[in-house]
Amino acid sequence: MVRSVIKGIAATSLIGAAFFSGFNSQALLGRKEDPLRTTPLLLATRLSEATRPASAKAGSSDLSPIDTYHSVLEKIISEYGTPPTEPKALGKWRDRLRYAGIEGMLLAIGDRYTEYWDPEEFKRNMEDTQGRFFGIGARLDVTTDKKYPMIIEPIENSPAWRAKLKPGDAITSVDGKSALLSDQQHLDDVIKRIKGEEGTKVKLTIRRGTEVKDYVFVRAQVNSPVIDSWMQDEAAKIGYIRLDLFSEEADTQFGIALERLQRQGMKALIFDLRNNPGGMLHVAQDLASRFLPGGPVTWLKEKNGQMRSLDVNTSLRRGPLAAGKIPTVVLVNGGSASASEIVSGAVQDGGAGFLVGTRTFGKGLVQTIIPLQEGEGAVKITTQRYYTRNKRDINTFRDESGAVTKLGGVKPDMVLTETDKDIEAQWNALRDKPFDRKAAAKFSPQVAKGIELLKARMAGKPWPKSEKDLPDKPEKSETVSAKPKDAVGPYSKPTHEPKLTE
């Protein structure tokens, strides 16, 4: 059965269109020849003549590129003098050789977003988009002294929730191995050890104040919450919704949060897309449909140059948001990418809200994820471009080194940068008061500006004049802040890789 990264089951070998970023690889260019290296290379080439199949010797066709690749790989595996001796390490070494060959081939394309996912990366990215995984179910940050992973919030009905773990609990070991964070062991490494197969056990040593206790968990399927919400200003009835990722369940969770805030009398909304790297395209389409009365959400440009629109989902085109009855400020920054840019661009183009923050990442390319045979991972290939509701091209162009040659992204209506000091204050507040979900937002100048603008809007004043079409002012570079990570979910470390699956 072939599963679509986009949604459900695909009838073809494709897993679906996706907006995922790649890692920047560096080619070895301009290296001078070393005669001491060239001589053994020539000798090896001559010796290889004796091992070539008859069909590939003089008078016959040469080896195909694929046959050449396999031939070289086999020779390295059989002839290399100092491979790992331990069987498991030897297997990993051989896998790395195979993967490096594939990555080198994709590097020749010159597209930083076209890449190969090994089986582990493929599995991890599928967990991201589906929002389901196996583990204990807890959001993690690090302790105030940055030495150990710390529980931010147990996910409801998860093993961690049933064990009554609390915000502020520190994880000091996993299965008897220290969880002390260092240059050799990052938060992501500890998270990988906490995750595992369904039904298997994992032992965590938890420190709560001066008390230290061991907990044994049976790993279970956990549905990752990607939405957090609360009434940010009780007096003015200004609600706040933060979306971490456009996973399969994101629109449903957004709807639940919106209804809850409306029952509390919400009159205005801050929608936080900062540091959201993207997710699934159809989810972005659905979520944007909650803000727009109709028309396109985004445009896709096919390989043949034809443009087609993804329009507002009429079944979701309802309620006070789409009717313009709830003034909305959308927060964005350099970590807002792909699906976040689809939604924020649609809201801005449609006049459905006011954007505050800094220019978004700028990824207007579409990738198609093609799974290989079982256990061999997948290849992700750029196949399309996308444009905003008003057909703006927001793609940032970069050279081979990753340097920006043409600035893209969605520029907010009001540019407001948060400094490193601002972000550190937010994290310190969250670590000092892990029970207070509003703690970090209280130290955010962007959230404060959103509240100010919404109060003015509710008082009958118009939005300020948009800065989106004005020339950029010289600014200090913004630090994209990391978010709390999910111990068993898609978040492990702040990679900020743009992604969006259809």
CATH number at residue 168: 2.30.42.10
Residue 35 belongs to some domain of the structure: no
Could you read off the pLDDT of 474-502 as tens digits, one per residue?
A: 654 444 433 433 333 222 233 345 665 55
Domain match, 203 and 256 both: no
Domain match, 459 and 497 both: yes
Place of tokens 């898609």: 490
Residue 10 belongs to some domain of the structure: no
Amino acid 195 reads: K
Average pLDDT over residues 366-395: 89
Rounded Cα–Cα distance for residues 6 and 125 (Å):
12
Domain match, 350 and 430 both: yes
Q: Which of 196, 223, 250 is the last residue of a domain?
A: 223
Contacts of residue 474, Cβ cutoff 8 Å, sequence gap at least 6: none
Which segments of 317-458 does DSSP mark as H helices, in order?
A: 319-322, 339-349, 420-432, 445-458
Domain match, 355 and 283 both: yes
**Quick one: which H or E segment has residue 281?**
helix 281-289
Q: Which of 223, 238, 268 is the last residue of a domain?
A: 223
Residue 383 has pLDDT above 90, yes or no: no
User: Mean pLDDT lowest for which of 85-89, 320-324, 356-360, 366-370?
Assistant: 366-370
Look at the chain and report how many structural domains it folds into: 2
Rounded Cα–Cα distance for residues 66 and 73 (Å):
11
Could you read off the pLDDT of 216-253 as tens digits, one per residue?
A: 999 999 888 899 999 999 999 999 999 999 998 999 99
The encoded tokens of residue 316 equal: 């979701």
Place of tokens 């969770």: 253
Amino acid 348 reads: Q
Q: Do 154 and 135 meet the contact criterion of CB atoms below 8 Å apart?
A: no
Domain around 172: 132-223
Contacts of residue 17, Cβ cutoff 8 Å, sequence gap at least 6: 6, 281, 366, 367, 368, 369, 383, 384, 501, 502
Residue 62 belongs to some domain of the structure: no
Domain match, 249 and 308 both: yes
Residue 16 has pLDDT above 70, yes or no: no
Domain match, 261 and 356 both: yes
Domain match, 338 and 301 both: yes
DSSP state of 155: P
Q: Which of 173, 196, 223 is the last residue of a domain?
A: 223
Query: Domain holding 415: CATH number?
Result: 3.90.226.10
Domain match, 270 and 205 both: no
Domain match, 190 and 338 both: no
Distance in Å from the first CA to the final CA of the chain: 18
Residue 153 belongs to some domain of the structure: yes
Residue 265 belongs to some domain of the structure: yes
Average pLDDT over residues 440-446: 92
Residue 446 belongs to some domain of the structure: yes
The encoded tokens of residue 388 equal: 């905003």
Residue 82 belongs to some domain of the structure: no
Place of tokens 């396109």: 296
Domain match, 453 and 486 both: yes
Domain match, 236 and 217 both: no
